[in-house]
């Protein structure tokens, strides 16, 4: 399988392969999904190719970046009719980009590794563009080797990030996407201590100062700001108790609350690239490191937490953090072994649950176009779409399905090599803390956090196991407490 050889797991079985299915000159082809950066319409006229090699048929400009385009129909021996419409499939190999002309992309499929077979009869010693294939339905699909595409003689490629941009683009982890005064901002979850409801804000001791009030988080009183001018932007969070406060850590004993209008979603940063700002915009917004693009192609400015920590004004406000009582770590019976981790805390029915943020692929609102579905012995309540594939939605509370799911949230979880969605009533907060074992003979772990201004112990859930329980493959889950 050349570079398409699937990884072998601990049980000796090779993992399945996700592929994009497409058509070219009446033939069925496929490309590994993790090699596809995006698909865009083929323009009526391609931009010029200035390489001088003649290997590429032109160039397409995507968000200001010129990407060479290659037509492989002739290299595969296909007779191409006069081209009218089509698409450009942008491939990614490391930091290199190259576009392939295709007639259409027909969908995605997950193929068992053992179903991919080598195709024999290569005429010469060069690396073939299609060296393997598989049966899907009644058709034989040729699996394109993207490594062979990038090594074709004379073919040039674009570089996704320049050397001076690598520091920005190499960030990994998850981000919280928030809205403030119609401005979309992304905050690294590693920078976030917790989120608390907006109605917990108390008046500031200095009403005329740059901070609007304080919130109590565990044993501290944290100053809160709501004016985007402090970040170099314009606008303020909505007045009143609506919204939430994102608490970030500036130093060991210094925190700062950012009043926001709403949390839009949480997603892995790798889900879409972090794009650097232009030099001019970067000079005007020194507290931001780039822009994050979500799955709806919406841009959010990404806070540079190191720059925020070095900002003299914000550091001065954060220095007003003060202790109000006994530290949580001093409570009898608590142990704080292990480092801090990020946990998402959510409401399900009459209880609360927490899960490691690393175990959640994405958090999104309940989709309005989800198709209702019920299955005997299962908590399945609907089917939605996630990156073009079906996403089963299971009701975490496993109770009667509400007629109106507006406001519910979906935790996208990977379980048994597939994505599933857990429907929860509300996302409460993101907390950076440590897990603690339940005393006595009871099993499980919990975290201490604040929900609606109350300090409580919340059970930590294994979301992948919860999916299996709700799908009916094991006894029903015990109710949350």
3-state secondary structure 225-248: ECEHHHHCCCCECCCCCCCEEEEE
| Confidence (pLDDT) at 108 | 74
What does the pLDDT read at residue 332? 31
Same domain for 257 and 170: yes
Q: What is the pLDDT of residue 212?
A: 86
For residue 289, what is the DSSP state? E
Q: Provide the domain limits for residue 381.
A: 335-470
CA distance 406 to 461: 24
pLDDT at 386 over 50: yes
Task: Tell me the C-alpha distance between 479 and 350, whole Å.
Answer: 9
pLDDT over 90 (residue 258):
yes
For residues 179 and 153, state if they share a domain: no
- Yes or no: say if 103 and 75 are a contact pair by the CB < 8 Å rule: no
Can you tell me whether residue 438 is helix, strand or coil? coil
| Residue-by-residue DSSP string for 320-341 | T-EE-S--GGGSTT----S--E
Which residues lie closer than 8 Å to 49 by C-beta, 6 or more apart? 56, 57, 58, 59, 68, 69, 156
Q: Specify if 254 maps to a domain.
A: yes
Average pLDDT for the chain: 78
Q: What is the pLDDT of residues 451-462, one digit of tens each?
A: 776 778 888 998
Do 61 and 20 share a structural domain? yes
Regarding whether 178 and 314 lie in a shared domain, the answer is: yes
What digits encode the pLDDT tens for the residues 314-368? 988 898 888 876 443 333 333 333 456 778 888 887 789 999 887 887 787 887 7
Q: How far apart are CA 438 and CA 481, in angstroms?
A: 13
How far is it, in rounded angstroms, from Cα 274 to Cα 293? 7
DSSP 3-state assignment of 5?
A: coil
Residue 417 is predicted with a pLDDT of 72
Are both 200 and 275 inside the same structural domain? yes
How far apart CA 201 and CA 195 sit, in angstroms, is 12
Does one domain contain both 117 and 186?
A: no
The domain that holds 31 is classified in CATH as 2.40.50.180
**For 427-473, what is each residue's pLDDT tens digit?**
887 877 888 876 654 567 888 887 776 778 888 998 988 888 888 74
44-62 pLDDT tens trace? 888 888 877 778 888 988 7
Q: What whole-number distance in Å separates Cα of residue 396 and Cα of residue 344? A: 15
**Whole-angstrom distance, CA of residue 123 vs CA of residue 100:** 23
Residue 270 exposed, middle or buried by CB count within 10 Å (0-12, 13-18, 19+): exposed
C-alpha–C-alpha distance, residues 154 and 132, integer Å: 24
Do residues 269 and 205 share a domain? yes
Whether 213 is in a domain gets the answer yes
Distance CA(303)–CA(290), nearest Å, equals 8
Phi and psi, residue 128, nearest 5°: -70, 150
- Other C-beta atoms closer than 10 Å to the C-beta of 166 total 11
**Is 199 a member of any domain?**
yes
Task: Report how many domains make up the chain.
Answer: 3
Together in a domain, 195 and 90: no
In a domain, 330, yes or no: no
The structure tokens 């609506």 sit at 242
Alpha carbon 464 to chain centroid, angstroms: 17
Say whether both 74 and 121 belong to one domain.
Answer: yes
Q: Are 288 and 341 within one domain? A: no
Is there a domain that residue 478 lies in? no
Of 224-228, 249-253, 421-425, the least confident: 249-253
Residue 241 located in a structural domain:
yes
Phi and psi dihedrals of 146, rounded to 5?
A: -65, -25
**Last residue in a domain, options 160, 195, 226:** 160
pTM value is 0.49
Q: Residue 476 falls within a domain, yes or no? A: no
- Which of 126, 160, 194 marks a domain boundary? 160
CB 196 within 8 A of CB 244: yes
- Phi and psi of 313, rounded to 5°? -65, -50
Backbone dihedral region of 20: left (phi > 0), alpha (psi from -120 to 50 degrees) or beta?
beta
480 within domain boundaries: no
Q: Give me the pLDDT at residue 164, please.
A: 41
Q: Which alpha helices (H) appear in 266-419, and where do they start and end? A: 279-284, 305-310, 312-318
- Judge if 149 and 258 occupy the same domain: no
204 and 270 share one domain? yes
Domain boundary among 138, 160, 182: 160
Q: What was the pLDDT predicted at 208?
A: 56
């Amino acid at each position: 399988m050349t570079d398409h050889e699937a990884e072998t797991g601990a049980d000796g079985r090779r993992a399945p392969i996700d592929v994009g299915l497409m058509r070219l000159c009446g033939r069925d082809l496929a490309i590994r999904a993790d090699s596809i950066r995006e698909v865009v319409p083929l323009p009526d006229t391609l931009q010029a190719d200035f390489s001088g090699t003649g290997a590429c048929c032109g160039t397409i400009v995507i968000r200001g970046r010129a990407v060479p385009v290659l037509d492989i129909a002739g290299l595969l021996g296909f007779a191409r009719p006069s081209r009218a419409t089509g698409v450009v499939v942008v491939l990614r190999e490391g930091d290199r980009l190259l576009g392939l002309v295709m007639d259409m992309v027909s969908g995605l499929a997950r193929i068992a590794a053992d179903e991919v077979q080598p195709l024999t009869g290569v005429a010469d010693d060069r690396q073939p563009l299609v060296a393997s294939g598989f049966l899907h339905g009644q058709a034989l699909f040729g699996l394109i080797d993207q490594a062979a595409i990038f090594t074709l003689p004379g073919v040039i490629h674009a570089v996704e990030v320049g050397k001076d941009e690598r520091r920005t683009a190499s960030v990994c982890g998850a981000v919280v996407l928030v809205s403030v005064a119609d401005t979309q901002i992304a905050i690294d979850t590693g920078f976030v201590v917790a989120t608390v409801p907006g109605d917990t804000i108390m008046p500031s001791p200095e009403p005329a100062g740059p901070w609007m009030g304080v919130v109590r988080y565990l044993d501290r009183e944290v100053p809160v700001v709501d004016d985007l001018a402090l970040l170099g932007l314009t606008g303020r969070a909505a007045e009143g108790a609506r919204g939430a406060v994102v608490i970030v850590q500036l130093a060991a004993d210094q925190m700062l609350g950012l009043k926001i209008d709403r949390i839009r979603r949480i997603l892995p940063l790798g889900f879409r690239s972090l794009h650097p700002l232009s030099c001019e915009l970067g000079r005007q917004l020194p507290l931001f490191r780039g822009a994050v693009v979500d799955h709806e192609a919406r841009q959010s400015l990404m806070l540079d937490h190191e720059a925020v920590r070095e900002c003299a004004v914000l550091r001065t406000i954060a220095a007003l953090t003060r202790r109000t009582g006994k530290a949580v770590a001093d409570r009898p019976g608590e142990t704080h072994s292990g480092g801090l981790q990020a946990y998402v805390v959510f409401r399900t029915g009459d209880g609360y649950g927490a899960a490691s943020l690393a175990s959640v692929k994405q958090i999104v609102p309940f989709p309005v176009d989800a198709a209702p579905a019920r299955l005997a012995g299962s908590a399945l309540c609907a089917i939605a779409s996630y990156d073009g594939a079906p996403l089963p939605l299971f009701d975490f509370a496993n109770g009667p399905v509400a007629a109106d799911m507006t406001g519910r949230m979906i935790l996208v979880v990977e379980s048994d090599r597939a994505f599933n969605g857990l429907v929860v009533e509300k996302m409460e907060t993101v907390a950076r803390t440590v897990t603690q074992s339940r005393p006595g003979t009871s099993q499980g772990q919990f975290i201490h956090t604040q929900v609606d201004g109350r300090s409580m112990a919340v059970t930590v859930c294994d979301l992948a196991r919860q999916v299996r329980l709700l799908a009916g493959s094991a006894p029903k889950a015990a109710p949350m407490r």
